Every structure is written in C-alpha cells, then in structure tokens.
Amino acid sequence: MIILIDGPEKAGKSTLAKVLAEQLHGTIRRWGPVDPDDRVYTPFLKEDSMSTRWFIWDRGWPSEHVYGKLLNRDRRLTSDPWLGEWLHGRAVQTSGVRIILLPTGAVDTGDLRDSSDLPVNPRAEFEAFMQYGKDFDYLMLTNYYTEESVLSNAELIISRLGAANIMPPPKYAGYPNAKVVFVGERRNDKSKMIPPGSWLPFTSRLTSELGRRLGPKAMQCGWTNVGDVPLEFLANKFVVACGEVAAEWLEDSGIARLVIPHPAWLYRYNTAAARNKRDLTDKILTLIGDFQNEQNP
C-alpha cells in the first residue's frame, strides 16, 4: 500500500514522510529524476501496492511532469501528465492515497532553498503542482512549517487510509468506491501494443484511447477485466461492458450495465461503421463524465 507525497522543493515532503513512516511502521522511498523515464516506477508500484505494509513515496510521476515542463526535460510525461496517472496513479488510488503538499505560499520557500534544489521559479513551481493536484483529484495539503501542522497533516492522511484492498492491482485499478466501472476482456500481456510501464487494466495502445477520451475523469472510474473481480463487487455500481466477452460475462448477473464496442475494434479501424460507433461512444463517455461530476461535486 502506497502513500505518494509530491510537491515543490522545501514544501516539507520528507518531514511528513518521516512522521508517517514512524506512525505506520512504513518504509520511505525517495525519488529524484528518473532514467530513462517514468517506467522505472512500475516494478516498485507492483510490489508496494500489493503489499500489506505501507510505503511512503517521497516524490513520483507528478514531479516528472512539473519539472519536465519547468526545466524542458525530454520526458514522455512532460507534455502528457494524464499518462502518468493512467499508468501509475490508478494503482495508488486502489490501495493508498495521493498527496500534493504545498507551502503556505511560493515565496515562503525562497529562504529555505540552496544549491541542492532544482533551479526553478518558486511561483511557477507552486502553481504547477497546485494545478496538477486539482486536475487529478489529489488530496491537497498545506504545510505551515510547525510541528502542529505536520502532525495535523499526518493525522488527516491516516484518517483517509482504508484497509488493505481485497482486489489489489492489477486486477482492479482506480478508486474502490468508484460509481462507474469499465470491464474489458482478459489482458494479453504478450501484445506488442502495450507501452512501457503498462501493467494496469486498459493500458494497451487502443484500450488507453478509451481512457483518453474521458481525460482526467477517467481517474474517477474503476477499471478491471473479465473474471478479475467478484461479481458481488460490481453489484452496486454502474458497469460499462467493453465488448461482447465482457457483456456475456455480465449477462446473467443482474448488474446494471451498458455495452459499448471493445476499444481494440473501436479505435483500430477507420471505416464508416467504426467512425459512427466512435461518435456514439464519445457521446456516451460525455454522459458518463457528467454523471461522475454529479457523484463528485
């Protein structure tokens, strides 16, 4: 299980991580610039998110995007923060909590910085992390640089933690209490269409396209494949069956479901029939996004 803490330089991330590690008897992982790109997180995400112990991550993929932009780094997340949450963030949603820790103001950290810190404008850095957290539904916390502030933030984080997820990734990704869950076919891990760092449901090139159509709202949904979760888990959710295999699996369950074409067909072809289905699916996804807004005002 993972607690991811990210935010500007000198925001107090390491101090908060230390307090959480002490209170939860957890392990801290500290990340700096990664090479060659964010795919290096994958093996640790697999291990930590499925563990019954707590791992506190000091920085992660949000930094890859923020500093990629501020420092003009040639990284795939520089211009595509959505991909970081799709490939990595959904695992933490399933079995942990994602946090952006901000100082009381960007200028507050100016006197705390030294040559070991990244050479970025504190105001631009502050605003970039704040916008990232808002876009992707992070728990946003403020550090007032007092012991009471640190302990209060730690207490709030711990109150948000649930028990170990009974369906850890990769069987399921996203919030366990998501109102909308997409169900696909069984994953083909040998496919050449799976990009580096992919291990969660719906992360082949074509199935990812379905998530991209939802944008950040995709992170408010649940994602799984046929047979990976008990049908009872889906009983009180609105299920979107992607393709005939998923529809047949759900057919006799009595679960409310909507059937759309599987993304492997929907986005592979450019025939008139495929274009018409894509247009209809886009309208359906817009309605799902509106429904999510109503559920998460």
The structure tokens listed for 30 are: 């500290």
Chain-centroid distance of CA 208 in Å reads 13
What does the pLDDT average to over 234-240? Answer: 90
The structure tokens listed for 271 are: 């025939």
Q: Are residues 153 and 177 in the same domain?
A: no
Chain-centroid distance of CA 54 in Å reads 17
Q: What CATH number is attached to the domain comprising 149?
A: 3.40.50.300
Q: Are residues 186 and 83 in the same domain?
A: no
Q: What CATH number is attached to the domain comprising 266?
A: 3.40.470.10
Tens-place pLDDT, residues 114-125: 777 778 888 899
Q: pLDDT at residue 38 above 90?
A: yes
Under 8 Å between Cβ of 236 and 195: no
Q: Which amino acid is at 36?
A: P
Domain end point (choices 139, 160, 181): 160
Domain housing 12: 2-160
Q: pLDDT at residue 230 above 50?
A: yes
> CA-to-CA distance for 68 and 86, rounded, in angstroms?
18
Q: pLDDT at residue 294 above 70?
A: no
Q: Are residues 155 and 13 in the same domain?
A: yes
Q: pLDDT at residue 297 above 50?
A: no
Kindly report whether the peptide bond that precedes residue 81 is cis, defined as omega within 30 degrees of 0: no
Q: Are residues 8 and 152 in the same domain?
A: yes
Q: Are residues 263 and 215 in the same domain?
A: yes
